[in-house]
Chain A
Amino acid sequence: NAGVTQTPKFQVLKTGQSMTLQCAQDMNHNSMYWYRQDPGMGLRLIYYSASEGTTDKGEVPNGYNVSRLNKREFSLRLESAAPSQTSVYFCASSVEGYEQYFGPGTRLTVT
């Protein structure tokens, strides 16, 4: 039982490059989330998926796209990376209204 897994753990991109962050959970949760965490800013929600086949914008969606591939997997794509997207990205899953389980995070640096 791995919980929530994320790949990659670290990534360095040049401005304008694209990449996809992968997330998978094995807890049969309906809801999945992508957050970014910057110093002093707490967790900010980028996108979430309440169930397979649905996605919705969170607080800071600009510059990102998501895909809920199936119940287990929820990916985050940066189409044209910018230095402002340098951050730590966390994926999480939950049963609605209950505690969230977080992945180990991806540390992204955009130069």
Chain B
Amino acid sequence: QKEVEQNSGPLSVPEGAIASLNCTYSDRGSQSFFWYRQYSGKSPELIMFIYSNGDKEDGRFTAQLNKASQYVSLLIRDSQPSDSATYLCAVWRGSYIPTFGRGTSLIVHP
């Protein structure tokens, strides 16, 4: 069974620190990797996507992919209280169905 694993948290970091969120996946054929942010009571929204090994940066966010070790991570630099949310990792294998992790709750405290 294809699985995507995330630590449920909560991960608590002080304002201004780097938050590191991790996701591991079991299917070596996975091709596309996505990070979504979900505020309480709201729907998920895309933060980052990555297809190739290495790092991809977008503002304060960096996605890191290591296919050999089957993990993808999301770094949030200069964390702000407004970053407090649940972060969902999603993995596609090239079929029509992505597999989602259960999400990691992030709390950024002032």
Contacts and interface: CB of A to CB of B under 8 A. Distances in A.
Chain B binds chain A: yes
Interface of A: 31, 40-43, 45, 48, 50, 56, 58, 90, 96-105
A76 to B, nearest CB: 15
Interface in B62-110: 88, 90, 92, 94, 96-98, 100-103
A36 to B, nearest CB: 12
Contacts of B53: none
B43 A90 contact: yes
Q: Contact size class for B? A: 20 to 34
B97 A45 contact: yes
A58 B98 CA distance: 11
Q: Please report whether the interface of chain B is mostly helix, strand, loop or mixed according to DSSP.
A: loop
Contact of B44 (A40, A43, A45): A43
Contacts of B45: 102
A48 B97 CA distance: 8
A43 B98 CA distance: 11
Contacts of A105: 42-43
Given A42-B101, A100-B44, A102-B45, 5 more contacts: A40-B102, A97-B31, A97-B94, A98-B32, A98-B49
Contact of B46 (A45, A56, A99): A99
A75 B73 CA distance: 34
B25 interface: no
B99 to A, nearest CB: 9
B72 to A, nearest CB: 14
A70 B49 CA distance: 29
B8 A40 contact: yes
B32 A43 contact: no
A31 B98 CA distance: 12
From A40, A43, A103, residue with most partner B Cβ within 10 Å? A43
Nearest to A101: B46
Given A43-B44, A45-B97, A100 B103 contact: no
B36 to A, nearest CB: 8
